[in-house]
Amino acid sequence: MLGTKKRQFGSWLRALFPLLAKLKFVRGTPFDPFGYLAERKAERWMIEHFEGVVDELVTGLTRQNLPIAERIVRLPGKVAGFGHIKSAAAALMLEQEQPLLAEFREPPAPIAIFDPARVAKRSANQAPANRAKDWNAA
């Protein structure tokens, strides 16, 4: 990183822009001079990381964990800016992502709609006299 201070350059730099525009085909190749910067390496790592997270989300997606998956997928949208601002946003995103991923990986609690054992237990605890009383009241 060149630093966090703004720098001024002369108007001679504008002459380089058309040349840089013609070299767009070099981007992402081993000949990309800016591809070796730590910031670019971090960006490529973030892309690979996010693709891995999305693969995990797609394979483990259920109705119960869909809201958590949505929150995880929206996190990278918060990473913006350049330099130290982008690095701080990426670090915050990774920090927020960990507990959400842990919650996503957690199996959902079973939902008991009807438990015959509980119904039988309740019926057995009720005295026969009470049942007869209830029938007579009706």
pLDDT at 126: 64
pLDDT at 93: 94
- What is the rounded average pLDDT of the residues 24-53? 89
Residue 89 pLDDT greater than 90, yes or no: yes
Element containing residue 3 per DSSP (H, E): none
**Mean predicted lDDT score pLDDT of the chain:** 83
- What is the rounded average pLDDT of the residues 114-121? 72
Find all residues with CB under 8 Å of 101, minimum gap 6, and list them. Answer: 53, 56, 72
The structural domains of the chain, with segments of one domain joined by +, span 11-110
- Rounded to whole angstroms, the Cα distance separating 75 from 7 reads 31
Find all residues with CB under 8 Å of 62, minimum gap 6, and list them. Answer: 108
Handedness of CA 28, 76, 80, 39 (dihedral sign): negative
pLDDT at 29: 87
